Structure 1
């Protein structure tokens, strides 16, 4: 090393090369998890290999316990990427708009719990290893301050799979209590919308349908605004990092 400095040659830092092989198992682990979840999403959410009518019939056959059974079954199915609107509509068909909305919310919280625990178990350590200690600590601090409202905001943004987001939140270490409360608060409007539409499937001209559509539109507007504001915040954060002294030097 001294000879290199004497000759004016800057030594090559091989610390990154020493770290990269250690990161490879974590990258592979997260890639396998992503492929598994995407495959599950395709089979359940796109190919629809499950017959929801048969499931609803089996739940209805349980009698007075049907609401609780449907909460448990829907929670598991939701974590397996069965589309939430279909499960909520089924709740409306079985239990009506009022009880069905609470059943849907219970199932939604259950799905968030299962998916979050799965994401934490499968990807938390690897995510921290790839981010590095400093970045992981900064993200933990951000989650501690606003993780709950991040979960709430995600539920308002249309087009994002709640189950997939819950797996991701779990991998990033969002506490379980934030997932449960955030899922309950953020999912309440859409839970009512899809459950009400399911309960009104035989009479699409009822006032309840128009109320549900109005709530859905309001939720979509709020979600779009939240997504735009979050994107601007992310952009400003990137700009701030780019202006740091470390980057300038």
Structure 2
């Protein structure tokens, strides 16, 4: 009886902690949402119109604009000559500012430029694209978001990212299921240092990006079992990195 009673008390304590954390998190979401509404209402009419148009354009590009096919890209390459390398590099950065999967562009890098130049182009464009996204979102919302990161629901997470964000970012980059652009937006709203974010993006994205370029025959739609196995191994490594980050302590009193 005593042992059963002890188990019930443990379950009750765990349930109470979970409820407290959920309550704190939902309070953070609700207060942030209401603060955002009040902040938007204080905008001038012109600013509201500009932001609304920008959001509509963002959604339209994300869902309505189609990526050029490999055939079209080859035609562009033939017309532009050597300048196409730079044009493709810029196109990669611009397109990946939106929540559009970058897999096609990475595959296209290998098909159009070969494994070496394709890997260099795709990885460098990926890194610069992430940095640009971070700077844009942080420039627009960073100052507004900063005081809200002191909320109990997110303060510990933010401190962890500020001190050791490179590990979390690099680990998440290895997990293919984590959207590239969404991670950029989310990281921008935290205190993760810009340099740590950029370096972690480069090294965390490198294995998957290079593998996608090299194993470019997956673009045929038949897939490649080696690519699937490699992606699974990377995901496992990324999850281990997240677990390790959670286990390692952070400095207090910062």
Smaller-chain TM-score range? Answer: 0.5 to 0.7
Match of 1:10 in 2: none
State the alpha-carbon separation in 2 of the partners of residues 65 and 199 from structure 1. Answer: 26
Report the alpha carbon displacement of residue 193 of structure 1 after superposing the two structures with TM.
2.3
The equivalent position to 2:138 in structure 1, one of 87, 99, 120, is 120
State the alpha-carbon separation in 2 of the partners of residues 169 and 37 from structure 1. Answer: 20
From the superposition, tell whether residues 81 and 145 of structure 1 become closer, same or farther in structure 2 (CA, over 3 Å). Answer: same
Residues 201-220 of structure 1: matches in 2 within 5 Å?
201=219, 211-220=226-235
Q: TM-score, normalised by structure 1?
A: 0.66
Q: TM-score, normalised by structure 2?
A: 0.65
Whether the aligned pair in 1 keeps the contact of 2:94 and 2:129 (CA below 8 Å) is yes
Unaligned stretches of 5+ residues in structure 2: 1-30, 41-47
Match of 1:24 in 2: 35
Residues 1-249 of structure 1: matches in 2 within 5 Å?
24-25=35-36, 40=58, 43-44=60-61, 47=63, 49-53=65-69, 54=72, 57-59=75-77, 61-132=79-150, 141-198=159-216, 201=219, 211-227=226-242, 233=247
- The structure whose Rg is larger is 1
State the alpha-carbon separation in 1 of the partners of residues 166 and 37 from structure 2. Answer: 27
State the alpha-carbon separation in 2 of the partners of residues 37 and 148 from structure 1. Answer: 30
Unaligned stretches of 5+ residues in structure 1: 1-19, 238-249
Report the alpha carbon displacement of residue 136 of structure 1 after superposing the two structures with TM.
8.2
Deviations 1:68-114 (A, max 9, x none): 32222101111122211111011111112221111110110121011
